[in-house]
Structure 1
Amino acid sequence: MYATKVSNKPVCVCFSESRGIMTSTPVTAAEYTDFKNQSSALCTDVKCVFYSVANVIIFILGIAGNSLVIWIAGFKMKKSVIATWYLSLAVSDFIMCSTLPFGVVQMVTDEWIFGLFLCKFRYFMKLINIYSSIFILVIISVDRCVLVMFPVWARNKRTVRKAAVIIMLGWIVSAALSSPETIFRDIVYKQKTKCVRKYINEQRKDINEQSHIAIVSCQFIFGFVIPFLIIVICYVLIMRKLKFNQMTMSKKPFKIMTLLIAAFLICWLPFHLFSFLKIHYKGFNFVEVLKLFGVILANANSCLNPLLYAFMGRNFKKQCYSVLSNIENVIEEEEEGREGVQGTAINTNEESISSAV
């Protein structure tokens, strides 16, 4: 069945499989509009395609990179404070990346098809992992600062158990800051099913706007401003201490620290700025595009963290090289085994042919 218009009147053209004939039936304007909406729901515009492709790439790289970090930090390396930080960060980023397919499906279909529970759960897990990932980056920065500023005290007081407790506290605070998503997220049924932030008092738009501003401000302050200031202060102290202790210091630590701060700033600042823009310029197409771009950058941080924080460490590099060398050895042994089997089969065939002759 498909719809067409004849003389400005919508007509439904139907094909009967049992009778093998086609019939035309007039349809109402509302039914024709619904049909047009359903037929145009495919992901064809540039915004949808860009968002979907970018998030699929981030999903693949993030799952692969964070899985490798989880394997190395959790199973290959001995338990240590640094390994605990990297393991928790990788778990947070892994969960964050695992929620990306929901957003891609929602963008492609322009509809939420996963039900109320996953509507609340998806945005809660997304927000909790945003906070936890940022908090863990702050913890890593503070830990590095303590190691440089107070090496003797850190050597005696830093333990894996204390690190695990700090990580648990970070996850608890993240869950508390993410709890509004479980309250305000709801399913809305209009022309299509949507998973949106729905406030308790829908009649009072002023109260709803204030609530939305409060949530966005809370995310900006606790999810960016305070963590960014702490990270910058820690790395300024680290660089001053290293410069004071080493007259001919290598430029590599400065480059790495600058790269880490720049990555954090580039990935998260657009997301929060565009969230504020969306409050005051809701419905404007350019704001929607900027917010989409900010979301992609924020998601990209989850696949950049393994490269910036984990694989820069010497122990992680050694373990990664050993893992890759082991994989290479397995592949080479498999190829040699196959060549040996093929050679044996060829020799056997030649012997059988010569004996037959």
Structure 2
Amino acid sequence: MEQSSTSGGFVSQDSTTPSQWTEATTVNETDKWFNSTCGTTLVPELVNLIIAPVGLTGNAVVLWLLGFQMHKNAISVYILNLAVADFLFLSCLILSSMMAVIDNFTLFSVILSTMTIIFYTAGLSILSAISTERCLSVLWPIWYHCHRPRHMSAVICALLWALSLILNILELCVSLLLVTSYDLHWWKIVDFIIASWLFILLMILSVSSLALLVRMFCSSRRMPLTRLYVTILITVLVFLICGLPFGISWFLVSWLTPVLFLFCYIHPVTLVLCCISSCTNPIIYFFIGSFRQQRQRRTLKLILQRALQDSPAVGNYGDSNSQRTLEILESRMLE
């Protein structure tokens, strides 16, 4: 039976051989192979160091605008928490990539890796909550507008953050104990719980997004296409293309440890894709918000407000005066 160690190597144990002899031989041989094969591949880390600061800046702008410049509503609370998750994910990724480039793997590297999974899980959870709430507002609009609790967004975000922290801190504790005890029982249980939670989130995200698409384009009573729905759908699509492979590879590395090339080659590439996903979210907001906007009022605050606009202004540009009036009223309401 094989298991993964925190240093990236693999420890092979047999009940018929002494554990000290097995540890001394297998770890040394595997570490030599790991260093000679994976230690020379620094391209993904360098790409992360180039791309991540761009996303860090974009998410910082979103945090500043939503946190201090705009009044908060149901959707802006979710977007704010998603920007926090992306910002922290990119921060940990930058530190991890720097430590990989300078070849300094310590216990702090293990903690950084766990923190990266925490913020990845939190981002997926919040994105699933956004898509689910928008789906509820479309399928049951009367309940949503009349009976929805006022602070439901903040409560849901707090619960999702707490659950992500608990699960991944538990994973870190079990991984650290595994180094000395070599007991795979609890490690498998915790990994199964985290993988199940990620799978549930993925199913919720996929089903709710598909329901939105069907209601907007295939239903007999089509909902008007707004900038908010376009923003959510594009954000979900980018995550499914770029962010989801990282979660799949993390699951495969955790459960299929004999396939070491997954860690060496596929996992770093998926981490780069996840970095692109976190960096793309602010670009999506500002692109949707600035699409066909009057240039004389092109401020970042108004652009972000338009990206979160839940009124049917997308695709109806025949009357420019009505559109301009809608923008003025919206900006006054949100100031």
Is 1:236 the counterpart of 2:236 in the alignment? no
Deviation at 1:168, TM superposition (A): 0.7
- Equivalence for 1:349: none
The question of whether the paired residues in 2 share the 8 Å contact of 1:84 and 1:163 is answered with yes
CA–CA distance in structure 2, aligned partners of residues 282 and 296 of structure 1: 23
- Equivalence for 1:264: 239
Q: Assess, with a 3 A threshold, how the Cα gap between structure 1 residues 217 and 292 changes in structure 2: closer, same or farther.
A: farther
CA–CA distance in structure 1, aligned partners of residues 222 and 73 of structure 2: 31
- Which residue of 86, 89, 92 corresponds with 1:93? 86
Deviation at 1:258, TM superposition (A): 6.2
Is 1:275 the counterpart of 2:265 in the alignment? no
CA–CA distance in structure 2, aligned partners of residues 44 and 121 of structure 1: 20
So what's the TM-score if we normalise by structure 2? Answer: 0.65
Q: Assess, with a 3 A threshold, how the Cα gap between structure 1 residues 157 and 323 changes in structure 2: closer, same or farther.
A: same
The question of whether the paired residues in 1 share the 8 Å contact of 2:65 and 2:301 is answered with no
- Equivalence for 2:68: 75
Q: Where does 1:191-202 land on structure 2 (aligned, <5 Å)? A: 197-200=175-178, 202=180
- Equivalence for 1:122: 112
Q: Where does 1:125-204 land on structure 2 (aligned, <5 Å)? A: 125-158=115-148, 160-184=150-174, 197-200=175-178, 202=180, 204=182
Which amino acid counterpart does residue 134 of structure 1 have in structure 2? L
Identical pairs, percent: 24
CA–CA distance in structure 2, aligned partners of residues 140 and 95 of structure 1: 19
- Which residue of 274, 298, 301 corresponds with 1:321? 298
Which amino acid counterpart does residue 281 of structure 2 have in structure 1? N
Q: Assess, with a 3 A threshold, how the Cα gap between structure 1 residues 288 and 216 changes in structure 2: closer, same or farther.
A: farther
- Which residue of 283, 300, 316 corresponds with 1:307? 283
Deviations 1:106-136 (A, max 9, x none): 21122235xx5x4564234322211111110
Which amino acid counterpart does residue 270 of structure 1 have in structure 2? P
Deviations 1:332-351 (A, max 9, x none): xxxxxxxxxxxxxxxxxxxx
The question of whether the paired residues in 1 share the 8 Å contact of 2:96 and 2:109 is answered with no
What count of residue pairs does the alignment treat as equivalent? Answer: 265
Q: What's the Cα RMSD here? A: 3.9
CA–CA distance in structure 1, aligned partners of residues 104 and 113 of structure 2: 15
Deviation at 1:156, TM superposition (A): 2.4
Is 1:226 the counterpart of 2:197 in the alignment? no
- Which residue of 65, 72, 77 corresponds with 2:58? 65
So what's the TM-score if we normalise by structure 1? Answer: 0.62
Q: Assess, with a 3 A threshold, how the Cα gap between structure 1 residues 254 and 93 changes in structure 2: closer, same or farther.
A: closer
CA–CA distance in structure 2, aligned partners of residues 238 and 216 of structure 1: 32
Deviations 1:283-333 (A, max 9, x none): 74465111211222223322123334x446659997x9313899xxxxxxx
CA–CA distance in structure 2, aligned partners of residues 297 and 174 of structure 1: 21
Q: Which runs of 5 or more residues in structure 2 are unaligned?
A: 1-31, 304-335
Q: Assess, with a 3 A threshold, how the Cα gap between structure 1 residues 275 and 173 changes in structure 2: closer, same or farther.
A: closer
Q: Assess, with a 3 A threshold, how the Cα gap between structure 1 residues 106 and 153 changes in structure 2: closer, same or farther.
A: same
The question of whether the paired residues in 2 share the 8 Å contact of 1:74 and 1:87 is answered with yes
Q: Assess, with a 3 A threshold, how the Cα gap between structure 1 residues 147 and 253 changes in structure 2: closer, same or farther.
A: same
Q: Where does 1:15-54 land on structure 2 (aligned, <5 Å)? A: 45=40, 47-48=41-42, 50-54=43-47
Deviation at 1:160, TM superposition (A): 5.0
Deviation at 1:276, TM superposition (A): 4.7
The question of whether the paired residues in 1 share the 8 Å contact of 2:290 and 2:298 is answered with no
- Equivalence for 2:264: 288
The question of whether the paired residues in 2 share the 8 Å contact of 1:85 and 1:163 is answered with yes
Q: Assess, with a 3 A threshold, how the Cα gap between structure 1 residues 262 and 323 changes in structure 2: closer, same or farther.
A: closer
CA–CA distance in structure 1, aligned partners of residues 112 and 222 of structure 2: 51
Higher-Rg structure is: 1
Q: Assess, with a 3 A threshold, how the Cα gap between structure 1 residues 267 and 218 changes in structure 2: closer, same or farther.
A: farther
